[in-house]
């Protein structure tokens, strides 16, 4: 499903990078409901529906950025948009949040660590092998 237009980063590699400083900027390209259920710690929400008009003012084009969504397709579009705006160090989390959770890495919501994950839809939910599936 990937177009291979944005380099990918495996979940295990990203987990290691997030322990270092400076850590990459995390941009979540899912829906507001998906983000509310859970996300990577410190991730910034980017509304996929307004991606075409977002200019990401105030974010340095030199920062390392990792984009993600549920499985990596929407985030690849976000990565393409970032490249078009002059960002040069952008990677897509391979397998998205589902792979992150499937490998046992933590996710968070407004209350803290959680095992809840929004599975996007019934069609995509079989890809999520771990976590508590919550459709909000």
Q: Could you report the per-residue pLDDT of 79-101, keeping only the tens digit for each?
A: 999 999 999 999 999 999 999 99
At 120, is the secondary structure helix, strand, or coil? Answer: coil
pLDDT tens digits along 12-59: 999 999 999 899 999 999 999 999 999 999 999 999 888 888 899 989
Contact of 43 with 28, CB cutoff 8 Å? yes
Confidence (pLDDT) at 49 = 87
CA–CA–CA angle 66, 53, 30 (5° rounding): 45
Q: Superfamily assignment of 8-133 in CATH?
A: Rhodanese-like domain (3.40.250.10)
Confidence (pLDDT) at 136 = 78
Contact of 34 with 120, CB cutoff 8 Å? yes
Residue that is written with structure tokens 């944005």 in the block: 6
């Amino acid at each position: 499903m990937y177009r291979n237009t944005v380099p990918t980063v495996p979940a295990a590699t990203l987990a290691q990078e997030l322990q270092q400083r400076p850590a990459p900027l995390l941009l979540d390209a899912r829906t507001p409901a998906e983000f509310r259920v859970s996300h990577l710690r410190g991730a910034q929400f980017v509304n996929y529906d307004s991606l075409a008009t977002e200019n990401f003012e105030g974010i340095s084009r030199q920062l390392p950025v990792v984009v993600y969504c549920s499985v990596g397709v929407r985030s690849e579009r976000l990565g393409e948009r970032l490249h078009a705006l002059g960002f040069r160090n952008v990677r897509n989390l391979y397998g998205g949040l589902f792979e992150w959770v499937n490998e046992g890495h933590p996710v968070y919501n407004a209350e803290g660590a959680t095992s809840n994950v929004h599975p996007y839809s019934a069609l995509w939910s079989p890809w999520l092998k771990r976590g508590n599936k919550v459709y909000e």
